[in-house]
Amino acid sequence: MAGEARVDVGPEEPERQPAIAGRALGTSFAASAAIQLLNVITGILLARTLGPTGRGALAAALLWPMLLGGIGLMGVMEAATYHAARRTAPVATLIGSGLALVFVQSLVFTALAALLLPVVLENQSSEALEAGRIFLAYIPVNMAALFLAGILNGRKHFGLFQIVRLLVIVATVILLAALAIGDTLTVIHAVMAYLAAMALTLAVAVVFVQRDAGGLGFDRAVARTLFAYGIRSHASTISSQFNERLDQVVISIFLSSRSLGIYVIAVTLTSATYLVGVSASWVVLPQVAPLEPGPERTTLARRYVQLTLAVSFLISVPIALLADPLIRLFFGDAFAAAAGPTRVLVLAAVLLSVNRVLEAILRAVGRPLDAGVAELIALGATLAGLAVLVPLIGLMGAAGASLLAYGVSTAWMSRRVSVALGMRAREVLAFRRADIRWMRDRVVGHAR
């Protein structure tokens, strides 16, 4: 960033960047594999206990607080990771200044969500509205937890960061399973379980961060710097969240809870592909951000993109081929209609996975607004696709709109990454022999 000061916060041993990147990536993929397994277990548990209508009501209750909470974060998590990685201020000052921003933002967006819920959930059941109001508490708790996780990631405490990622899922599964065993798993109780898991995760994140901070500080200039980076990064965050969830938003407003419940199952089956890109993006930002422009930065960034594309594609092929039997086996015949949307969404998820890494690269090289422009363009494609396709072909139309939007975003960001790294656009996604050997070594090395 122009004019950015870099603070000397103590000596740091020289790092072997490729080795550290490889270990961090392996850890992130392992955590994501565990998260995916737990998400599948959660999806099966909720689908079979609540049925399509109840599952749709729960999805509607969770959707709006999650969406507005993500918007309200204003890119503070990415700003925390970027500035912690570049050591632009003492960590205690980063934490204190960032938490002050989170406090203000969470108040504003919790109030906004409370006003919007009765309007957007007008066509849903009274139980869904009540559950949504309870889940408003998620907004401040999740904002604080994500910000602290960003600090851990930027400080390259990758193991602790992955523990935070995993803990919220593990705790949620345990609580939901306990409710199911006790025959008390309802939409309201499920929402409370999600909140309890999030609160536990925040408490653990506080303990982990305290090891580095030793206290809290506040600096208005640091808060402004965090907000300035965050708001530029947020253009991509807010647009990507809308792009990822706008199909569900439209379904929740205009179609039945049953339709939303079926569509959520299709999204669940594609989450393994999406988590590949998310896993890589957590590593890309803190690994690429400290590097100066040159061949090392360009090569590392390219290979992250290519590895993400290859792994995402390999995971998606069997899901697309086996969508119908997988849905019937794990979720039941009542959700069989999800097979068609699943096949379209899994292709879209490959592009979305790659997009998360492209966004992380643009943020790492100090160009977060470029990613935002790409997502805004894709958001326009999503809106147009949903407006045309959903009335014509329903859930398949919603899936098709996502595929169109993610493809537009991939094309735009590939071009911007090529400009930022000083290479031709086709080289961003093109594979070379050296790249294939690098990916093989990463896989073989982590398998041993």
Count of beta carbons in the 10 Å neighbourhood of residue 396:
18
- 320-337 residues labelled b (16+ CB within 10 A) or e (exposed): beebeebbeebbeebbbb
Q: Is 154 helix (H, G, I), strand (E, B) or coil?
A: helix
The amino acid that residue 113 corresponds to is: A
Q: Helices marked H in 331-430 — which ranges?
A: 339-364, 368-393, 395-421
User: By C-alpha distance, which of 1, 19, 283, 22 is closest to 153?
Assistant: 283
pTM: 0.64
Nearest-angstrom CA–CA distance, 323 and 346: 10
Position 200 pLDDT exceeds 60 = yes
pLDDT band at 442 (very low <50, low <70, confident <90, very high): low
pLDDT band at 168 (very low <50, low <70, confident <90, very high): very high
Count of beta carbons in the 10 Å neighbourhood of residue 66:
18
Nearest-angstrom CA–CA distance, 246 and 259: 15
Q: Are 428 and 308 in contact (CB under 8 A)?
A: no
Sorted by where each begins, the domain ranges of the chain are 17-447
Position 295 pLDDT exceeds 60 = yes
The amino acid that residue 271 corresponds to is: S
Count of beta carbons in the 10 Å neighbourhood of residue 10:
8
Percent of the chain with pLDDT over 90: 29
Instruction: Tell me the average pLDDT across 118-147.
Output: 90
User: By C-alpha distance, which of 127, 121, 136 is closest to 195?
Assistant: 136
Averaged pLDDT of the chain: 83
pLDDT, residue 137, reads 94
Nearest-angstrom CA–CA distance, 316 and 385: 23
Nearest-angstrom CA–CA distance, 239 and 355: 12
pLDDT, residue 84, reads 86
Count of beta carbons in the 10 Å neighbourhood of residue 362:
27
Across 79-83, 130-134, 434-438, 443-447, least confident range: 443-447
Position 443 pLDDT exceeds 80 = no
The amino acid that residue 43 corresponds to is: G
Look at the chain and count its residues.
Answer: 448
pLDDT band at 420 (very low <50, low <70, confident <90, very high): confident
Instruction: Tell me the average pLDDT across 318-323.
Output: 93
CA distances from 254 to 64, 77, 120, 250, 328 (A): 15, 33, 10, 6, 26
pLDDT, residue 155, reads 86
Residue range 16-72, pLDDT digits in tens: 444 445 566 677 777 777 887 888 888 888 988 988 888 888 988 898 898 888 888
Nearest-angstrom CA–CA distance, 47 and 52: 7
Tokens of 402: 């996502």
User: By C-alpha distance, which of 85, 88, 101, 202 is closest to 152?
Assistant: 85
